[in-house]
């Protein structure tokens, strides 16, 4: 009797496990111990000694302190979560839009792709000139409608006029505040979109051209093709980008800086650990809920 080998799905599972094996090894070797110490510190009073430190169990004392006595933790936590809620949808939308533009054929496409990835390795202040160059090259290489859109973006905009216009349309204040906050953070959104754009470009290039040919034969419009073909095919990568964007935004948030200041400047190791755990649990909970909801509406192409 012949020995039965692995099925295709089992082989793919093995490949996936081998792919994440370095991360698992690093997590077990370096991160788990730090996580355990963070939990221990958050439940203890830390006393520094000549040869190290000693811990005394304090229960929920540090958690009660950061929520009821600390002067800025609650406000900073809410503002940091609010910034994430504002930034993540805009970054995902902007990244997908730019990926679709950069996936078209025009002169200087490779250079412009590199320019949009530069914020990942450079400061946003240093990238301003490069972004202006990208706009100029795209204006000369893209179609007239895209050029007009970019020229409108470069031109001066009276924000007060559009705020008044939105108010006359009876838009809810929550939507208006979201739009205003988004406009105020547009430079941050651009500088934080480099990796996401690259991932979306890879996703768009992996979509079978036969699907677009069938849509064209059936008479689908560009709008219908996007929602019926492009968007469902890139949904798995949207989940990847959401996870990356949330983690990246959280690592640069004010709540992380506050916890670090509490640790390095004020020498409050217990309260700093409690801040880190609370903010991490909240962000992971939000991330889990969002990813679980999106996964139910995700189409996986095999």
49-56 LR contacts (CB < 8 Å, sep 24+): 53/269
**Is residue 301 assigned to a domain?**
no
- Residue 176's pLDDT is 66
270: in domain: yes
196 within a domain of the structure (yes/no): yes
Backbone φ and ψ for 242, nearest 5 degrees, come out as -65, -45
Q: Locate all alpha helices (DSSP H) within 155-268, ordered by sequence.
A: 159-168, 173-184, 186-191, 194-205, 209-217, 222-225, 231-251, 254-264
Half-sphere exposure of 12 (CA within 13 A, CB side): 4
Q: Residue 120: inside a domain, yes or no?
A: yes
Tell me the pLDDT band of 229, cut-offs 50, 70 and 90. Answer: confident
Q: Residues, the chain, total? A: 302
Residue 288 lies in a domain: yes
Mean pLDDT of 242-257: 87
Examine residue 26 and state whether it is found in any structural domain, yes or no: no
Token look-up 């996401």 returns 196
* Per-residue confidence (pLDDT) for residue 18, from 0 to 100: 92
Q: Categorize the per-residue pLDDT at 155 as very low, low, confident or very high, splitting at 50, 70 and 90.
A: very low
Share of the chain above pLDDT 70, in %: 72
**What value does the mean pLDDT take over residues 189-213?**
84
> Residue 21: what pLDDT?
92
Residue 253 belongs to domain spanning = 61-296
Total domains, the chain: 1
Query: At 116, is the pLDDT very low, low, confident or very high (cuts 50, 70, 90)?
Result: low
268 pLDDT more than 60: yes
Asked, for residue 290, whether it belongs to a domain, the answer is yes
Hey, what are 175's tokens?
């939507």
Assess if residue 1 is contained within a domain: no
Distance CA 186, CA 163 (A): 17
Tell me the helix, strand and coil percentages in the chain, rounded to 5: 75, 5, 20
Q: What is the CATH number of the domain that holds 210?
A: 1.10.3720.10
């Amino acid at each position: 009797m012949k020995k039965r080998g692995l099925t295709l799905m089992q082989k793919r599972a093995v490949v996936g496990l081998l792919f994440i094996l370095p991360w698992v090894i690093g997590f077990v070797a370096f991160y788990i111990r730090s996580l355990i110490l963070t939990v221990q510190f958050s439940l203890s009073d830390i006393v520094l000694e000549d040869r190290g430190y000693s811990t005394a169990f304090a229960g929920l004392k540090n958690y009660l302190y950061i929520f009821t006595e600390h002067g800025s933790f609650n406000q900073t936590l809410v503002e940091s979560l609010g910034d994430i809620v504002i930034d993540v949808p805009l970054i995902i939308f902007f990244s997908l839009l730019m990926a679709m533009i950069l996936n078209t054929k025009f002169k200087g496409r490779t250079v412009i792709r590199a320019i949009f990835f530069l914020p990942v390795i450079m400061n946003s202040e240093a990238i301003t000139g490069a972004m202006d160059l990208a706009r100029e090259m795209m204006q000369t290489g893209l179609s007239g409608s895209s050029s007009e859109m970019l020229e409108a973006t470069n031109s001066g905009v009276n924000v007060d006029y559009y705020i008044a216009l939105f108010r006359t349309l009876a838009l809810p204040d929550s939507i208006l505040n979201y739009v205003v906050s988004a406009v105020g953070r547009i430079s941050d959104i651009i500088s934080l979109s480099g990796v996401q754009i690259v991932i979306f470009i890879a996703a768009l290039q992996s979509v079978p051209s036969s699907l677009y040919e069938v849509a064209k034969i059936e008479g689908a419009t560009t709008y219908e093709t996007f929602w019926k073909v492009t968007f469902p095919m890139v949904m798995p990568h949207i989940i990847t980008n959401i996870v990356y964007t949330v983690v990246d935004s959280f690592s640069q948030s004010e709540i992380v800086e506050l916890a670090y200041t509490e640790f390095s400047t004020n020498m409050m190791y217990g309260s700093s650990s409690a801040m880190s755990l609370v903010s991490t649990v909240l962000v992971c909970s939000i991330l889990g809920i969002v990813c679980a909801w999106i996964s139910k509406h995700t189409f996986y192409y095999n």
